[in-house]
Structure 1
Amino acid sequence: MLSGIAVAIGFVLFLGGFVWGAVVYQPYTVPTDSMVPTVQPGDRVLAQRIDGGEVRRGDVVIFKDEQWSDSPMVKRVVGIGGDTVKCCGAGGRLVLNGKELDEPYIEVAKLDLEGAPEVPASGTSFEVTVPEGNLFLLGDRRGASLDSRAHLTEAGQGTVARSAVTGRVDALAWPSMSMVERPKAYAALPGGISAAGPLPLQVAAVVVGAALVVLGAAYGPVVRVLGRGRRRERADVG
């Protein structure tokens, strides 16, 4: 009875975790190197299906805008409606609402003798006030990313509507496997950063479910073998 219960619970957890993951997440292959070092070209990522209204600063999002490309693109949100985004500050960093940002996730091409970035956060100078309902998006590899900076002369100054967003990248799935961290640089700003997605809980459900199925299926045969061994011992003693 215990074996059957364990197997039943295991199947529910195992299948439930997979179904839950399929409903919440969509896979996406990143074709370019614009998000290096966070995401490498060819990486398979898992993006949580979200509404554009759920997007926060620092999120790595998947979106589609016909003025940018016919295909979905992946970039990082550095500014939301009402924000003023400028580059660069005195320290060569991106300036958001008057404060320089610490962006440890961007590719640093060159360091000075003290280990500080010698190359600014962007080779393009700009200052944009993001319209309400829009997002300002940059790639982490600032020297090779075609992002909002390439569309500054267009309506909206390179910003994209929140409604264009279809997902938020939560994890790298292949060939490496790791969670995509939420940048702490944006945590103190109004709205904060996005909460962690449910992927770790889904993975835990699948792993625990698989373990229960295996252990439950093995429990019966093991008990029977041990029972026979005890009966033989008693028979020898008798």
Structure 2
Amino acid sequence: MSRTGRTGEGRGRLGSVLSGVAVALGCVLFLGGFVWGAIAYQPYSVPSDSMSPTIKNGDRVLAQRIDGGEVRRGDVVVFREPSWGNGDLPMVKRVVGIGGDTVACCDAGGRLTVNGKAVEEPYLRPGSEASATGGIPPTTVPKGRLFVLGDERANSMDSSARLQQAMKGSVARSAVDARVDAVAWPMDGLLERPSGFEELGAVSSPGPLRLVFGAAVAGAVLILGGAAYGPVAGFFGRRREVHSRAR
């Protein structure tokens, strides 16, 4: 056997080993990404337009499973509140106040205020105002609870519509199941993190959805690349053999 032939065989064996490693690593990343996503996230279907235009009727969202104690102002959360008359069905609303906050609407500019500070809400429908709630008198949120509003203020049965009920229409932190990170269908992508609440204290950081998606995509690329090595290497090997015989 010629030296060139031995070199070609050596490269072929190394290529086969590397392609096997790529496929194995790809499987770990791909399956690991899906398992991680299944553990961290829960899909929900939104049955109304109360969160429009952020989330519309019929949208499928991905919500990160969290403890209610992790909720911050500005978060869009999934919760269950049977006292609101919808049984045990999950609801999706935005948290605008936490325990101890005083929420009111509206200031002279038609903006929601929290602890006397006006909150900029770019997620509201263009041309609409927070005042579409019909007004919220200064309301102090009880400890351990959350004041929630829909982004479609004129069409949302939320805390503002239940101020006369127990706990001033607020929702217990323990009622929260998850925090919405993205609209999966239609593929609108990650929700923008609201900046209007930053002056009031800590806001939530994005969940691991980008990392989950990145791991799955990287795994798929490695699997396809590793699996394609054999046919591609065989094709070029045959071409080299044909050229060698022609000479």
- Tell me which protein shows more helix as a share of its residues: 2
2:145 maps to 1:129: no
Aligned match of 1:75: 93
2:37 to 21, 33, 40: 21
Aligned equivalents of 1:181 and 1:109: distance in 2?
19
Equivalent residues, number: 229
Aligned match of 1:166: 177
Tell whether the 8 Å contact from 1:94 to 1:121 is kept in structure 2 after alignment: no
2:79 to 63, 72, 75: 63
Deviations 1:180-228 (A, max 9, x none): 11100112322x2111111111111111111111110011111121112
Residue 80 of structure 1 aligns with an amino acid whose one-letter code is I
Q: TM-score w.r.t. structure 1 length?
A: 0.93
Aligned match of 2:225: 215
Tell whether the 8 Å contact from 2:78 to 2:177 is kept in structure 1 after alignment: yes
2:168 to 144, 157, 165: 157
Deviation at 1:175, TM superposition (A): 1.9
Aligned match of 2:192: 181
Three-state SS of the structure 1 residue aligned to 2:35 is: helix
2:122 to 89, 104, 112: 104
Residue 64 of structure 1 aligns with an amino acid whose one-letter code is R
Deviation at 1:109, TM superposition (A): 4.8
Aligned equivalents of 1:120 and 1:203: distance in 2?
38
Three-state SS of the structure 1 residue aligned to 2:147 is: strand
Deviations 1:99-136 (A, max 9, x none): 111111112455xxxxxx5x735323322111111000
Aligned equivalents of 2:244 and 2:127: distance in 1?
76
Three-state SS of the structure 2 residue aligned to 1:157 is: helix
Q: TM-score w.r.t. structure 2 length?
A: 0.89
Counting only pairs closer than 5 Å after superposition, residues 198-237 of structure 1 correspond to structure 2 as: 198-237=208-247
Runs of at least 5 residues in structure 1 that lack an aligned partner in the other structure: 111-116
Aligned match of 1:86: 104
Aligned equivalents of 2:144 and 2:136: distance in 1?
24
Q: Tell me the C-alpha RMSD between the 2 structures.
A: 1.3
Residue 157 of structure 1 aligns with an amino acid whose one-letter code is K
Aligned match of 2:60: 44
Aligned equivalents of 1:87 and 1:161: distance in 2?
22
Three-state SS of the structure 1 residue aligned to 2:237 is: helix
Alpha carbons of 1:65 and 1:141: their partners in 2 closer, same or farther (altered >3 Å)? same
Aligned match of 1:193: 203
Aligned equivalents of 1:177 and 1:225: distance in 2?
41
2:47 to 11, 15, 31: 31
Identity of aligned residues (%): 59
Aligned equivalents of 2:41 and 2:171: distance in 1?
22
